[in-house]
Structure 1
Amino acid sequence: MMDDPLMLARIQFAANITFHILFPTISIALGWVLLFFKLRHNKTGDIKWAEAYQFWVKIFALTFALGVVSGITMSFQFGTNWPGFMETVGNIAGPLLAYEVLTAFFLEATFLGIMLFGAQRVSNRVHTLATCLVAGGTTLSAFWIIALNSWMHTPAGFEMINGQAHATDWVAIIFNPSMPYRLTHMLIASGLTVAFLVAGISAYRWLRHDRTASTMAALKTGVVLAALLIPVQILVGDMHGLNTLKHQPAKIAAMEGIWDTERGAPLLLFALPDAAERANRYELAIPRVASLILTHELDGELQGVNAFDGKHPPVAPVFWAFRVMVGVGMLMLATSWFAAWQLRRGGDIQPWIARTLIAMSFSGWVATVAGWYVTEIGRQPYLVYGVLTTAQAASAVPAPMIASTLAMYLTLYAALIVAYVTVLFHLARKAGAGKGAQPVYPAPGLPAPQSQLVKF
Structure 2
Amino acid sequence: MFGLEALDLARIQFAFTISFHILFPAITIGLASYLAVLEGLWLKTHNDTYRDLYHFWSKIFAVNFGMGVVSGLVMAYQFGTNWSRFSDFAGSVTGPLLTYEVLTAFFLEAGFLGVMLFGWNKVGRKLHFFATVMVAIGTLISTFWILASNSWMQTPQGYEIVNGQVIPVDWLAIIFNPSFPYRLMHMATAAFVATAFFVGSSAAWHLLRGKDNPAIRTMLSMAMWMALIVAPIQAVIGDFHGLNTLKHQPAKIAAIEGHWENHGDEPTPLILFGWPDMKAEKTKFAVEIPYLGSLILTHSLDKQVPALKEFPPEDRPNSTIVFWSFRVMVGLGMLMIFTGLWSLWLRKSDKLYTSRPFLYLALWMGPSGLIAILAGWFTTEIGRQPWVVYGLMRTADASSGHSFVQMSITLIMFVVVYFALFGAGLGYMMRLVRKGPKIDEGKETNEGGPGQKRTPARPLSAADDDGTEADNSPSLTKEI
Could you say whether these structures have the same fold, taking a TM-score greater than 0.5 normalized by the shorter chain as the test?
A: yes
Describe the SS at the equivalent of 2:436. Answer: helix
Tell me which moved more, 422-431 or 384-393: 422-431
Superposed displacement of residue 218, structure 1 = 1.4
Residues 193 and 292 of structure 1, relative CA distance in 2, 3 Å threshold:
same
Q: Is 1:157–1:172's contact at 8 Å kept on the other side of the alignment? A: yes
Stretches of structure 2 that go unaligned for 5 or more consecutive residues are: 459-480
Describe the SS at the equivalent of 2:361. Answer: helix
2:345 alignment partner, one of 341, 345, 349? 341
The equivalent of 2:432 in structure 1 is 427
Superposed displacement of residue 351, structure 1 = 1.9
The equivalent of 1:202 in structure 2 is 203
2:306 alignment partner, one of 296, 303, 307? 303
The equivalent of 1:58 in structure 2 is 59
The answer on 1:275 being equivalent to 2:281 is no
The answer on 1:316 being equivalent to 2:317 is no
Q: Provide the rounded CA distance (Å) in 1 between the counterparts of 2:106 and 2:335.
A: 34
The answer on 1:410 being equivalent to 2:415 is yes
The equivalent of 2:374 in structure 1 is 369
Q: Provide the rounded CA distance (Å) in 2 between the counterparts of 1:127 and 1:202.
A: 26
Q: Provide the rounded CA distance (Å) in 2 between the counterparts of 1:425 and 1:247.
A: 41
Q: Provide the rounded CA distance (Å) in 2 between the counterparts of 1:386 and 1:441.
A: 63
The equivalent of 1:110 in structure 2 is 111
Runs of 4+ in 1 over 6 A off after TM superposition: 437-441
Residues 385 and 435 of structure 1, relative CA distance in 2, 3 Å threshold:
same
Name the amino acid aligned to 1:372.
W
The answer on 1:352 being equivalent to 2:354 is no
Q: Is 2:326–2:379's contact at 8 Å kept on the other side of the alignment? A: yes
Name the amino acid aligned to 1:287.
P
Stretches of structure 1 that go unaligned for 5 or more consecutive residues are: none
Residues 92 and 178 of structure 1, relative CA distance in 2, 3 Å threshold:
same
Describe the SS at the equivalent of 2:244. Answer: helix
Q: TM-score normalized by structure 2?
A: 0.91
Q: Provide the rounded CA distance (Å) in 2 between the counterparts of 1:441 and 1:435.
A: 13
Q: TM-score normalized by structure 1?
A: 0.95
Superposed displacement of residue 265, structure 1 = 1.1
Q: Give 1:22-421 correspondences, 5 Å limit.
A: 22-262=23-263, 263-310=266-313, 311-346=315-350, 348-421=353-426
Give percent identity, aligned residues only.
44
Superposed displacement of residue 441, structure 1 = 8.9
Name the amino acid aligned to 1:130.
A
Q: Provide the rounded CA distance (Å) in 1 between the counterparts of 2:156 and 2:11.
A: 21
Q: Is 1:439–1:454's contact at 8 Å kept on the other side of the alignment? A: no
Superposed displacement of residue 444, structure 1 = 6.9
Name the amino acid aligned to 2:100.
Y
Residue-by-residue CA offset, 1:174-221 (whole Å, 9 max, x unaligned) = 000000000000011001100000100111122232222111111111
Q: Provide the rounded CA distance (Å) in 1 between the counterparts of 2:36 and 2:354.
A: 26
Residues 51 and 396 of structure 1, relative CA distance in 2, 3 Å threshold:
same
Name the amino acid aligned to 1:170.
W
Q: Is 1:231–1:333's contact at 8 Å kept on the other side of the alignment? A: yes
Name the amino acid aligned to 2:130.
L
Q: Provide the rounded CA distance (Å) in 1 between the counterparts of 2:385 and 2:448.
A: 54
Q: Provide the rounded CA distance (Å) in 2 between the counterparts of 1:158 and 1:360.
A: 43
Tell me which moved more, 155-164 or 352-361: 352-361
The equivalent of 2:477 in structure 1 is none
